[in-house]
Structure 1
Amino acid sequence: MPISLEDKLVVAISSRALFDFEEENHVYEEGNLRAYEALQRARLNVPAKPGVAFPLIRKLLALNTGEHRVEVVILSRSDPISGLRAFSSCRAHGLTVERGVFTRGRPPFAYLKPLNASLFLSANQDDVRDALAAGFPAARVLPQSAKVAGKYPDEIRIAFDGDAVLFSDEAERVFQKDGLRAFVGHEIDNKDLPLADGPLKPLLGALHRLQKLADEASPMRIRTALVTARSAPAHERAIRTLMAWNIEIDEAMFLGGLDKGAFLREFEPDFFFDDQISHCESARGVTATGHVMSGIVNAPTP
C-alpha cells in the first residue's frame, strides 16, 4: 500500500530557510552556479549552522513522539549533490528529515501539490510568490530574523496576522481604497458574514487539529495567537470568522495600529507571519518572521 501524507502536517522548507547558507547563497546570486555547487561540495562534511526556521522545525518534529503527525520535506533550488549537505546537516543536528526535492535552479513550488503541503517556507521571494499564486500556504523567511524558540522548550508558539494572512484581503482592500472609516463600517455591516480563507488558514487548521490530538503525555504543546491591527468594533468579524471555521485560537491582540513588535516580545512566538513588510521589519528583531506576500498591499506596482 502506498505511503500517504494526507493525514500529516507537511512543512516544505528550502535548505536556506532551514540552515544558514547565506554565504553560499551570495555566491549563487552572483550568477555563478558552478562556483556555488563547488563550494557546497567542498563543504559536504561541514554541518551547516541552524537557519531562521530551524528552531521551529525542531519543535514541530518533536510532535512525532508516539504517532508520526508532522512531515518535514526539504524543497530546494539546490542541485542534488548540494542536497547531500542539507541532509547530512539534518543528521548532525538530530533532525529526522527523510524526504527532499532538489531542482537545480528550477522553481520548485509545483511539488507542493503532491506533497500536500500545509506550509512552504523559503527565503526566495519568487518561489514564495509563485506558491501563493498557485494557492499554497507560503511565506518568505527573513534571513536576519531573531531566534527565540529555545525559551519554551515544551511549547510551540506561532503568531499570525489576520487580513491577507489567515483571512482574505477583502477588508484590507476597502481600507486601502476608502480609508479607516469605510473599513470599520464595512466590517460592522458584515460582522455576521465570515471572511473568506486567507493563504495561511490551512496551516492554522492543521495546528488546531494537532492541538486537539495532543494528550497529557505529549512532550510538546501548541499555542497560537492572532496579532492584528484591527480594533473594536472591527474585531468582531475576525472572531466570528474563526468561530465559523470551528477553529480556536489561544490569544488575540487587537492593536489598532500599535507597533506589533512590542507585543510579540511579550508573547515570544517561535514564528510570526504577516503580509505587510513594515510589520515584518518590526517583528524580525524579536522573533523568526515570515512575509506572506499576498493581498493588495503586495500587489505589483503598475
Structure 2
Amino acid sequence: MAASLEDKLVVAISSRALFNLEEENRIFESGDDAGYMKLQLERLDVPAQPGIAYSLVRKLLRFNEGGQQRVEVVILSRNDPVSGMRVFRSGVANGISLQRGVFTQGRPPFGYLRPLRAHLFLSVNAEDVREALVAGFPAARVLVESVRASDAYPNEVRIAFDGDAVLFSDEAERVFQAEGLDAFQLHESSKAGLPLPEGPFKPLLAALHRLQQAGSPEMRIRTALVTARSAPAHERAIRTLMNWNIKVDEAMFLGGLPKGEFLREFEPDFFFDDQTGHVDAAARHVPSGHVASGISNPR
C-alpha cells in the first residue's frame, strides 16, 4: 500500500523552530554558507538541544503510541541536506520520531505545504510564514526568545489561541480599529447569533478536535481561547465555536487585560496570536508564535 498522510494531523516545522540552532544560524546569517555547512558537518554527532516548539511536537507524536499513526511531523527547512542529517540525528537523540523532511538550501519551502496537506507550519522565518498564510495554511513565526514549555502536564497537549484574526476572521477587529470599543461591542452584540467567518487557524483547531475524538489512552488535548473580548462580545465567539461543533476546554475573555499571566497559569505548549505586542509579552511566560494575518499585519 502506498504511503499516505490522509487522516493524520500533519505538522510541518523548520529546524530552528524544533531545535536550538541559534549559534549555527548566526554564521548562516553572516553570509558564510560554507562555514555554516562545515560547522553542521563537524557537529553531526552532537545533538542539537530542544527548541521552543519541541514540547508541542514531542507530545503530539505521543498520539502515535500503541501503533496507531495519527500524527506526522515533517521537517520543512531552508537548511541544506547535510544539515538535515544532523536534524534527523538530533530527533533520535531527543527521543522523537522524525521520518520525513524537505531541505531547500535557502529557497522558500512553503510551497511544499500543499502536497503535505499540512495542518500547521511553524517556522522562524517571517516571510515563509506570511506566504504560507496567504496560501491558506495555518502558520506562525516561532519566537525563539520564548521561554520553554512547562513539564507540568506530560500527558496533555496544551494549546492556546487568540480569537480574532487567528481562530476567527478579522471582521470584528476591523470594526474595533476603525471605530473604537463601543462600536465593536455594538457590532458584535447585534450579530451575536451570526457565526464569525473562519480565521486562518480554524483548520488546525478542527484537526485537533478530530485527534481528540479519535482517542488515546496515553494522551489528551486541552485547548484554550484567550481573547481580549469581554461581555457582551463574548457571546458571538462562543456561538461560533458551537456552530462549528468544536469545543474548547477553557475560554478567557480578558477585556484587554494582559494575557501573559493568564497564559502562565494555563501553561500551554504553544500560544498563537496575531498581534506582535501580545505575542512578545506572552513569550516571557510561554512558548509563543506570531500569526501574521488580518488588519494588524498589513503586507
Q: TM-score, normalised by structure 1?
A: 0.97
Q: How does 1:43-192 map to 2 (within 5 A)?
A: 43-66=43-66, 67-192=68-193
- 1:201-258 Cα offsets, whole Å, 9 max, x none, are 111101111111115xx11111000000000000011001101101011000000000
Q: Aligned with 2:194: secondary structure?
A: coil
- 1:264-287 Cα offsets, whole Å, 9 max, x none, are 111111111000111111111111
Partner of 1:35: 35
- 1:175-206 Cα offsets, whole Å, 9 max, x none, are 11111111111111211111111111111101
Give the superposition deviation at 1:2.
2.0
Partner of 2:281: 282
Partner of 1:232: 231
Give the superposition deviation at 1:259.
0.6
Answer whether contact 1:79 1:102 (CA < 8 A) is retained: yes
Query: Which one-letter code corresponds to 1:45 in the other structure?
Result: D
Distance 2:35 2:60 in 1: 34
Query: Which one-letter code corresponds to 1:233 in the other structure?
Result: P
Partner of 1:16: 16
Partner of 1:242: 241
Answer whether contact 2:52 2:149 (CA < 8 A) is retained: no
Distance 2:197 2:183 in 1: 19
Query: Which one-letter code corresponds to 1:234 in the other structure?
Result: A
Distance 2:221 2:296 in 1: 30
Distance 1:241 1:76 in 2: 35
How many residue pairs get aligned? The number is 298
Which 5+ residue runs of structure 1 have no aligned equivalent? Answer: none
Give the superposition deviation at 1:148.
2.4
Which 5+ residue runs of structure 2 have no aligned equivalent? Answer: none
Query: Which one-letter code corresponds to 1:228 in the other structure?
Result: T
Answer whether contact 1:56 1:149 (CA < 8 A) is retained: no
Q: Which range moved further: 41-50 or 25-34? A: 25-34
Distance 2:48 2:181 in 1: 47
Give the superposition deviation at 1:44.
1.0
Q: Aligned with 2:37: secondary structure?
A: helix
Query: Which one-letter code corresponds to 2:39 in the other structure?
Result: L
